[in-house]
Amino acid sequence: GQVAAAESRATPAQQRTNALISSAARAPSCPTHQQAAQANCPGTVPTTAPQQAAQKLPARRPPQQRPNSSPGARAQTVPMEEETEKGRMAEEIEMGAGPANWPSPRDLDDLMGDREVANLQQLLKANNQTSMQQWLQVDPSQGLSNDVEKRRTIYGKNAFDAKPPTSFFEFWWDAMHDGAIIVLSVMAVVTICVWLFVEKPKCVPNGYLEPVALVFSISVITLTTAGIDFSKERMFAALSDQLDASNKKFVLRNGVTMELPDAEIVVGDIVTFNAHNAASVPADGVLVSGSGVKMDEAALNGEPEPAEKNDEKPFILSGTVCTSGSGKLLVLAVGTHSVSGKIKAAVYGEAEEEGGSPLFDKLDKMSLKIGKAGMFIATVVFLTMTIMGVFVKGGPAREIVHYIVQAITILAVAVPEGLPLAVTLSLAFSSSKMSLDNNLVKTLKACETMGSATTICSDKTGTLTANRMTVRGAVVCGVVKPALDPRIDTAESRKSVGQRLRDDKNIPNEAIEELGRLISVNTMDESAVVFENGANAPPTFKGNPTECALLELCRTLNIDWRGIRDSATGRSDATRSQGHPFMFSSARKLMSWAVPRDRGYRVYVKGAAEIVLQRCAWEVSSTNRVQKLKDERREQFYVNNVVKSFAADAMRTIALAYKDFDRLPQDWAATTDQVKNADGTDAFVAETELVLMGIVGIEDPLRDEVPPAINRCYGAGIDVRMCTGDNLATAVAIASRCGILRQEHYKGGKMSPHVSDLKKDRAMTGKEFRKRVHNDDGVFVQAAFDEIWPRLRVMARCDPDDKHTLAHGLNKSLLFQDTETCAKLKEEGITIFPDRQVVAMTGDGTNDAPALKRADVGFAMGISGTQIAKDAADIILLDDNFASIVTAAKWGRNVYDSVCKFLQFQLTVNIAAISVAVVGAFRYQESPIAAVQMLWINLIMDSLASLALATEPPDDSLLDRPPVNRSDSIISEQMWYNMVGHAAYQVVVMMLLYFDLGADLLGTQPNGTPHHGKCGGVTVYSKHHSALFNCFVMMTLFNEINCRKLRGEWNVFRGLFKNPYFGSIWVLTMIIQVIGVQYGGAAIAVHKDGITSRQWLVCVLFGAGELVWQQVINVVHHLTKGGDEHVTEKGYRDAGILKIGSGRVALPETVRSASSRSNESSQRDLSLRRRASSKKGLSARESSTPRMVASEKV
């Protein structure tokens, strides 16, 4: 079904990718116990495989029937000279043949794809081999000798062809394809051509300034963008190279164990590994020999528990980590032939299906509209000037050239040159600040995209939880210490379980000491709790996470577990032969360790509570006496009140017990048929008739900051869904505690630990999910998916392909267009977000990589994530913390707001300048503001303004409103009021000062002389026009302060002093303007002596008037809209689509977009916040407009 689902994707590359993922994620099918009993270690697998296993083999052509793979075919091949030999070898490899008597690459690929012992036995039998070592001609005691290069040629190298780094030129070329940059480039070419061939350099000697300035602006923008991307990629590559160079493994060659880099390992090598200093496995293979080997395979299959490796389950995959034991691996697949290598190749080769970010899409559309509007206005102005100047006033026809220049100037004014720079600076500033908040941004646009995120699909382990198993509850000597809710801050909840046990006077100290001894002795050597970063830092867990949790319990009990382990007779290294360990096995679900004592032996036992409890005949009482454990007490107290209670709270229960022997048993391996192991085999006598000491509940605790972060997400209109490999009950318990599942998700609105109390489809397993969203042919069905996702909050037992399907389905859903279904969901209290989904996905494993690429924003774990996952992600969480994702959302929204702030500033300048230029063109056939002055405003003022507004820090109020809709215009209603209002103010002031009345106010003579004059230009510019230009800049500069606010806030100075960048840049801009006006002279078309103090005073007063005028605009907007768009104290906007979440939820009838979102929890939060605001006198709008359909209250 997974492969068929992949085939429904859009591209063949995606089909191949998901097919590989499905294969890699497929758990190896183990043979039955009876079959396993007949099989030896795969390193020496006999040829007598069971017939039943042979019948289960998948139908495929036997290896001996493949071309050139039979012994006869190989015998006919005569070695020739070196080139011929290489060519023949390459041809055989291409056809799946193996050299000499070695297995072919295809044989090994098939074997590692199936990973079944029965298939291995059948393959060996079909080729008359007794073991893989014999077939690969490897001596297990000596390793490989001198045929390493030959094996590398045949089976491939254990490295990947590095993804070619993007060159600086490619980054620059990509930046040049931005829509605004293209417009600026065309303008630069046009202006230089006009200056060279129309105006003539002799007549306009400084005419080159404008095109040169445009080229300079383009260069700064594109080179800055390319430089940032280039440096980030090189930084990431350097970190990867450093990691690769440090990856060395212990390999047996020529009888000597040597350290070799991963890239030097070849098929046939014997690699030794252990849980201490060589835990990571570099290639696929089979276990040749080992003791107590357990592998963490979460990176490939998402399973949180380590997998035991033995004769029955010998296959070990690259990228997995040994958590306990040690062993030797016979390498069978390397590089791109390994399971993780195939996934990596598919991920790197997959064509990305992604468009621009929401912000970039909107900017491209807006730039196109501005260009069209500018062209229209420039054409109208040109025709008007031509008619007035040539036909009405009878001017010379050569003036048409001047009119063309004026029209081009107006077109140049219409284009917001500083906008690309503002976007680049804002993204660069945000990404650098995000790195300080543990977000390493690999792709700049991912910053802004995250700000528009509507759904976060998060892992559990390490992201929502601390990835640190901890004892949260315990029962010792019959005294219960239940798990306390960490969200309720009390003196007791701040204590560890060990402290609570130690402080309880009902528990004898002798029992505490014996409990600590039991744990210290009966844990593996690989498990340890160490303080690597000092005594004040949290300890580091090494080895088995469950045992580490028990050792940490010992530490909090003030028990020196290491001292006991090193000194206990029968457990210490020096006396270990006097003891007897029964290592853990999945068949028994127990681990025991027998050690001598004063009289006889004591066997310490720990294991799954449901197994150990059934073997306990006695228990230790609160008086430290051993008493009979009655069946009724076992069931009522321990099973029902303790084990089930702990399990309902997402804890794994471990029972701790012991058994005493008066003398050394004759045979520690003696078994009894009266008690059975978990797999039905006879139990060891030493592990029966036990004395129960206690039961502990262990879990991976939630990070303290996760519940508040999830609450912020819902308040910000972002849905959170949990995708985990845990079982459904544990997943639901964790989701309830962290806030993903809330009261509204349960029947009757009451929280419950039982999955059955959840409403329909709030939680399900990956198996059920796959079954429901795919048809009988295994093809993904969007309609079936749309029936599930609005309600889905938790997916348990999910594999990476389920995450890919979830991200794909959410992004492509068109459910909101179905008004009937939306109405039904509305009756359930579910509001469908009227816009396309923007999906963020977290992942840490190799198999998560395609899902990370498919999501709009992929987050990889910086600590626990694999290299392939990091390569596929857009942002790397350096601390693996969900709270950092919320920080990324806040910075992303800040990027959007920063661009809107600059856009509000820039377009106000453009509207005012174009209006003044049009009036001047009609009156004098010349703009009052010279072209070079407009260039000064665009390049100096606007560039500095973009830097100032781009460095505005985010405010927490950014997360108090829903995400911005993809279909919303980037220019909001309030922004239109601000832009038009301030542009009107500036135009009125400019017109006032332009004519005679303004000249009197400025204390100068009116001057309507055109700036361009005759051939050679004007040599002396008037103070009138100089003051006019300065007044326009002052109004622009003071309006920059207003533009810090987007939603009509009354106090425009709020937060001003929290941003030193803005104040510094604003003062610098003022200084540059003073210098330019007073000393710039003809270079910027001002009077050589500057302007007078009276003129400066008038200019500054009119500029400061912008601050007062903003309050007038706010009042007008509030009155004319009747409160339709209201701003709370935190700057939340109620208008339009963003009213979703207010007291009445309204949806536009005509909204059409590309996707939709369930906003069940977030709308409730927004509704409560809106009602709270109403109580403060900030009433929200209670009625909908005629175009809105009012619906029931959430």
- Spatial separation of the C-alpha atoms in residues 908 and 914, rounded to whole Å: 10
- Spatial separation of the C-alpha atoms in residues 666 and 861, rounded to whole Å: 52
Phi, psi for residue 305 in degrees, rounded to 5: -90, 135
- Spatial separation of the C-alpha atoms in residues 1010 and 923, rounded to whole Å: 11
* Angle at alpha carbon of residue 1189, lines to 1187 and 1194, rounded to 5°: 140
Cα–Cα distance list, 1023 to 875, 927, 941 (Å): 54, 16, 21
Contact between 673 and 682 under an 8 Å Cβ cutoff? The reply is yes
Dihedral angle sign, alpha carbons of residues 1014, 1017, 1021, 1025: positive
Identify the residue whose tokens are 């090189």. 234
Identify which of 95, 43, 46 has the alpha carbon closest to the alpha carbon of residue 70.
Answer: 95
User: Beta 652-661 vs 690-699: how paired, if at all?
Assistant: antiparallel
Phi, psi for residue 707 in degrees, rounded to 5: -55, -45
Q: Which residues contact 16 (CB under 8 A, 6 or more apart)?
A: 346, 349, 350
SS3 1019: coil
Phi, psi for residue 1061 in degrees, rounded to 5: -60, -45
Identify the residue whose tokens are 């060395």. 248
- Spatial separation of the C-alpha atoms in residues 704 and 606, rounded to whole Å: 30
Contact between 895 and 453 under an 8 Å Cβ cutoff? The reply is no
Largest CA distance in the chain: 127
Could you write out the DSSP letters of every residue in 719-731?
Answer: EEEEE-SS-HHHH
- Spatial separation of the C-alpha atoms in residues 49 and 753, rounded to whole Å: 48
Dihedral angle sign, alpha carbons of residues 56, 57, 59, 62: negative
Q: How many CA atoms lie within 13 A of 397 on its CB side?
A: 0
Contact between 521 and 593 under an 8 Å Cβ cutoff? The reply is yes
- Spatial separation of the C-alpha atoms in residues 276 and 150, rounded to whole Å: 32
Q: How many CB atoms lie within 10 A of CB 627?
A: 13
Token output for 412: 């140049």
- Spatial separation of the C-alpha atoms in residues 308 and 569, rounded to whole Å: 28
Phi, psi for residue 911 in degrees, rounded to 5: -60, -45
Identify which of 143, 376, 364, 184 has the alpha carbon closest to the alpha carbon of residue 266.
Answer: 143
Contact between 899 and 946 under an 8 Å Cβ cutoff? The reply is no
- Which residues partner with 540 through β-bridges? 530
SS3 305: coil
Q: How many CB atoms lie within 10 A of CB 299?
A: 23
Write the single-letter amino acid at 1056. L
- Spatial separation of the C-alpha atoms in residues 329 and 620, rounded to whole Å: 45
Catalytic residues: 459
Identify which of 1083, 1073, 1075 has the alpha carbon closest to the alpha carbon of residue 1021.
Answer: 1083
Identify which of 959, 839, 840, 836 has the alpha carbon closest to the alpha carbon of residue 897.
Answer: 959
Task: Let me know how long the chain is.
Answer: 1194
Phi, psi for residue 5 in degrees, rounded to 5: -65, -40
Phi, psi for residue 951 in degrees, rounded to 5: -100, 15
- Spatial separation of the C-alpha atoms in residues 953 and 950, rounded to whole Å: 9
